[in-house]
A = this chain, B = another copy of it.
Amino acid sequence: MTGRVLRLGMAGGGEGAFIGAIHRMAAALDGDWRLVAGAFSTDEGRNRRSGAQLGLEPQRVYASLDAMIAGELALPVEARIDAVAIVTPNHLHAPMAITALNAGFHVLCEKPMAMGVAEAEAIAQAARDARRHFALAFTYSGYPLVEEARARVARSDFGAIRLVQVEYLQGWLSQPIDSAGNKQAEWRTDPARAGLGGCLGDIGTHAFQLAEHVSGLRVQSVSAALATHVPGRRLDDDVSALLRFDGGARGVLKATQVAAGEENGLKLRIHGERGGLEWAQMEPNTLTLRWLDRPAETLRAGGPGLQQGTTRLLRTPSGHPEGYIEAFANIYRAFGATIRGGEECSFPSLADGLRTMRFIEAVIANAASDQKWTMISPGEKE
């Protein structure tokens, strides 16, 4: 930690929720952030219990985001929250983010950014107008060896990039648990709360963001197929897409939540003229580099051969594994450092969010048509 402890308010994430707890651990890990306020649930009892379990002062456990904003604005600046973490279902991201930004708070929001491109653009406009920072929880960007991969591609270790393969395999929606009481599954397969994409919005966006982030290339057009394998489900649970990138690279994106037995298999492979890389989220402390004319190399978190930008993201020496919470904490850390203003920091933000929303819309349009390719608008220079 450098500098003062930042104060966080949380919207959503009451007891039983999954991602709220992850945010809290990620925020706490380095001592940079302290959770001081929350509007955890619209259920009053659940909200109150959540706040109590988290050791919050009862008066800072608010009935709604609006109440939190009003309450915090009533506090002196030096006690007031610095930022709001939005960890609700998707349909609330945009209204909440815009409200918080307009009130002068920084925002760290779950992905996907919004229900559609228009909403995402409204958030972007609000952030620019309010001159506040906006971070998106594309957690996987926070892994040190993802940063190493990005830096290696950027400095042209592999020559011009030709191939990008990204996959994200989960199996937890293989059965109709969404109609059997599983809360996580329920809202993720409900168009009113999740948006137009099911698997597409939930994990397809992660795959897409990772592919563009590490390759440094933009997807120009997409040819896609969506499927819903579980009868009765209202959104896709399986995405396949061919990608054409600026500059001629070709890609394949596969995301599914019905690969029974798979856990959280996000994997990225990129190949250029002289070699390629492979990174898999489930063993995140390893990055494999393969070469046309010399033996493959295994880069390890904390080991020799890493860029300085990678090393700064590590907390433990070589061979002491870091994981998902640490990756997440790197996003909180970068977001915090940026708010404090002392450091040059990078974290997933408006551009990543807008790109992924355009991707969702392009995939849905393409999958519904008999046309081979659908362009993805590059957007304004984001």
Contacts and interface: CB of A to CB of B under 8 A. Distances in A.
A303 interface: yes
Interface stretch (A84-92, A111-119, A169-177): A169-177
A25 B21 contact: no
A21 to B, nearest CB: 7
A276 interface: yes
Interface string A163-206: 10101001110110000000000000000000000000000000
Interface stretch (A100-108, A124-132, A209-217, A319-327): A319-327
Contacts of A372: 223, 369-372
Contact of A261 (B31, B170, B238, B296): B296
A300 B315 CA distance: 24
A71 interface: no
Interface in A250-267: 250-252, 254, 256, 258-265
A305 B295 contact: yes
A194 to B, nearest CB: 18
Interface string A62-89: 0000000000000000000000000000
A229 B248 CA distance: 8
Counting chain A residues whose Cβ lies within 8 A of the other chain, the interface size class is 35 or more
A122 interface: no
Given A225-B244, A261-B291, A283 B371 contact: no
Contacts of A351: none
A171 B296 CA distance: 13
A224 to B, nearest CB: 8
A17 interface: no
A299 B263 CA distance: 12
Kindly report how many copies of this chain are found in the complex they form together.
4
Nearest to A243: B240
A345 interface: no
B171 A271 contact: yes
A204 to B, nearest CB: 14
Q: Which of A165, A318, A320, A322 has the most chain B CB atoms inside 10 A of its CB? A: A320
Contact of A316 (B22, B29, B321): B22
A233 interface: no
Interface in A232-288: 238, 240-242, 244, 248, 250-252, 254, 256, 258-265, 269, 271-276, 281-285
Nearest to A287: B295
A24 B285 CA distance: 22
11 contacts: A4-B55, A5-B55, A28-B28, A172-B318, A227-B250, A261-B275, A261-B292, A263-B303, A282-B321, A295-B297, A320-B324
